[in-house]
Amino acid sequence: MPINRDYTSPEPRREDVDALQGSVLVEFGTPWCGHCIAAQPLLEQALAAHPDVRHFKVEDGPGRPLGRSYRVKLWPTLVFLQDGVEVERLVRPTSEATISQALARIVSD
């Protein structure tokens, strides 16, 4: 699955995310966040090598239940899940290699 350029609307419920099977990347951020914008090319490069990873881009902010359930404090926050369980988390990643390493931890052989 290629990178998701649009924010998911409405945001998924936590129980739905927990029920997802396989490799999933949940990206929390906002469309106006400079750090989020800077991370997009890095995410695109890293996800290109992992087409089977499902990517959800979730707009976060005060009162957003999904972000609060993951205790997101800074954007972007990338949560890497395998069968609904958090395996890795990156906050404000600055390199494609770091994202690729985290993706490798959730990809099934």
pLDDT computed for residue 109 by the predictor? 53
Query: How many other β-carbons are positioned within 10 Å of the β-carbon of residue 60?
Result: 24
pLDDT number for residue 5:
86
Work out the angle between the directed axes of helices 34-48 and 96-106 (0-180°, nearest 10): 60
- pLDDT score recorded for residue 3: 79
Task: Provide the number of structural domains found in the chain.
Answer: 1
57 lies in a domain? yes
| Residue 2 forms part of a structural domain | no
- pLDDT for 32 equals 96
Count the neighbouring beta carbons within 10 Å of the beta carbon of residue 44. 15
Q: Which residues of the chain have pLDDT under 70?
A: 1-2, 109
Bond preceding residue 10 cis, omega within 30 of 0: yes
Q: Which domain holds residue 95?
A: 14-106
Residue linked to tokens 């985290």: 102
pLDDT number for residue 1? 58
Q: Model pTM?
A: 0.94
**φ, ψ at 62 (rounded to 5°):** -55, 135
Radius of gyration of the chain, Cα coordinates, nearest whole angstrom: 12
